[in-house]
A and B are shown apart, each in its own frame.
Chain A
Amino acid sequence: MATNAVTVARDDFLNAARSHVVLAVVAAFVGSVALVFLAEMDLFADPYRTLYDVAQLLVLIGPILLAPLTYLAIVGDLTSGRIKFVLGLPNSRLAYFAGKVLARSAVAVAAVTASVIVGFAIALVTFANSPGVANFLLFAGASALYVLAFVSIFVAISASVRSRSRAMFAVVAVYFVLVPFWLGMTPPLTLETLFSAAGDLLGTTISESTRNFVRRLSPLMAYGGLIEPIFVEGADQYDRFAHFGGEPTAVHDRLWFFLAVLGCWTLGSLGLGFLQFRRAELG
């Protein structure tokens, strides 16, 4: 099964790479990150301060850049008939599904890795203070987990629907809920207004700790929690980082919780997607 999954992944990856889709996605990530570092080289002395802005950018545009690469991963094959070629060979559905996830994840991780390497190189040359290797490694690892969560969600959607339009609608809807809605960027419809509405309906006030717990359940907030240690050293230097640091007290402030949240989104969505795909009609 593993061999077949690798073969499916290789074919899928090479097909995308030769159409320059991979190059375009990697270039978009690298270009975006490079621009942020170049724009801030004279603003801040510390590269880790710019990593914070890069993180904000990745949170917003990372899923958008990856969506075109992922939402047709399986439903595109289904509607074009390519799935009959791949599954006409003795590939199991699991091998096919895993191959698709592997190929698309590889592109996402490659894009994040390349952008962080380029960011590090620019910081090394242009920033007053040298970039911390550990900070960049942590940032790269956490960012990879973040984009993998969205790749998994989008591929799972692709495996669960039977038309391209439904896949596109679902991907946009999930992005809206997990990013702008959760971040409070779309008033009056945000997570905070939902808390208020739920409190009003229940006739009570939702406690701040409960709100914080729910807030941390999204991939982007878990990602924020993972990269928080990078910015602790700037708590005294940058106002934006003033609230960072200190021992975590609540469960939802602990490292394992952040990893668990991202793991649940990644593995949970893949599991649900495969359950749908396992019994899907491929005609």
Chain B
Amino acid sequence: MTAIETTALTKRYGDVTAVEGLDLTVESGEVFGFLGPNGAGKSTTIDLLLGFQRPTEGSATVLGHDATDESRELRARTGLLPEGYELYENLSGFDHLRSAIEIKSADDDPAALVERVGLDRSDARRPVGSYSKGMTQRLALGIALVGDPELIVLDEPSSGLDPDGIRLLREIVREEADRGATVVFSSHVLDQVERVCDRVGIMADGELVAVDNIEDLRADLGANEVVDVDVATTPDPTVVSDIDGVVDATVADGTVRAECASPEAKSAVVARIGEHTSVRDFEVTDASLESVFAQCTATAAAGPAENGAVTDGIDLDGESTTEADGTTEAGAGRESDDSDGGRSIPLLGGE
């Protein structure tokens, strides 16, 4: 069953296009990550999905309701943690929760909700104006959970949260998904999305430039993990290049760098090098989603992607293109940019 479906959803403000021709499907029970830099159009899309704004063109259906004309009905089944919101500064956390429970005709226990989001009861009795950003965010998350909504929309939910709060947020998202809720997790923090989401959609300049599960995005764009092994004496790179899952291997300045397409290859690389020389240190850079994100958002001029396939024509540094059948054309495959200490990440798949 489909929780969210948009068709050519477009929002323009005069000459400025905030969202352009968005075709998106989110299935029920799915944890969907909405990625993109600030200004990409994520929050505008959420506003359109909840009826806060009217689309210039196209349509959106949420939980079977038209997002514009049946906004209240869909919000009755939705929990929202918005971005850039403000609560009533002189009302307590409990006051807010009680009002949300009342408006949703729910039977939640405010104390249980407070406990679930990690707020102290004493804090929940204080005016919200005295809360830190993280406490406010926890309360807003609690409000979003009122009534066990079928759809939970979290817009930049980790904003202001400390590491414990972020961990708790992930747990709650998983619990809600296990309950059967659909979760839309919008963020520009890649790590957060990668850890909790089944699929991600990447937005840039108002367009959806990629939609897929993280592993497939990684594979399609060749955004593999890189193992850097510091060694006493540099071996020939061919000692690891024949390992299954190693896409590329180079040696420079006492470091062997191997690009791995599978998790098993990483440990095999370290073990193989250890057979030939002394391993001083090694580091794994999981730049996968980050690199996909960077590439996708940097080349947003490409057309939108369909589910399960990266957009044709995304220019991966001009060194490769994704073919219509989903295969990738091998190229030089390496971008060298060590001037700022960053990793050079070959984005080409294939051997």
Contact = CB atoms under 8 A, between A and B. Distances in A.
Contacts of B54: 279, 281
Interface in A1-28: 3-4, 7, 10-12, 14-19
B53 interface: yes
B89 interface: yes
B127 A87 contact: no
B100 interface: yes
A19 B129 CA distance: 11
Contacts, number: 86
Given A14-B91, A85-B85, A281-B52, A7 B75 contact: no
Interface residues of B, number: 32
A14 B104 contact: no
Interface string A47-88: 000000000000000000000000000000100111011011
B72 A91 contact: yes
Nearest to A14: B91
Contacts of A281: 52-54
Nearest to A84: B82
Nearest to B87: A85
A11 B43 contact: no
A173 interface: no
B211 to A, nearest CB: 23
B16 to A, nearest CB: 13
Contact of A82 (B80, B85, B99, B102): B85
A283 B103 contact: no
Contacts of A88: 50, 75, 78, 80, 82, 85, 143-144
Contact of B103 (A7, A81, A82, A279): A7
A119 to B, nearest CB: 30
A80 B140 CA distance: 15
A283 B89 CA distance: 21
Interface string B111-151: 00000000000000001000000000000100110000000
A282 B48 CA distance: 10
Nearest to A21: B90
B87 to A, nearest CB: 6
A90 interface: yes
B144 to A, nearest CB: 8
A11 B75 contact: no
A92 interface: yes
Contact of A81 (B76, B82, B88, B104): B82
Q: By CB atoms of chain B within 10 A, which of A3, A7, A15 has the most?
A: A15
Interface in A251-283: 279, 281-283
B53 A80 contact: no
Given A84-B80, A84-B85, A89 B90 contact: no
B68 to A, nearest CB: 10
Q: By CB atoms of chain A within 10 A, which of B50, B75, B99 has the most?
A: B99
Given A88-B80, A281-B53, A14 B72 contact: no
12 contacts: A3-B103, A14-B88, A14-B91, A15-B91, A82-B85, A82-B88, A84-B84, A85-B86, A88-B78, A88-B144, A91-B103, A282-B52
Interface of B: 43-44, 47, 50, 52-54, 72-73, 75-76, 78, 80, 82, 84-91, 95, 99-100, 102-104, 127, 140, 143-144
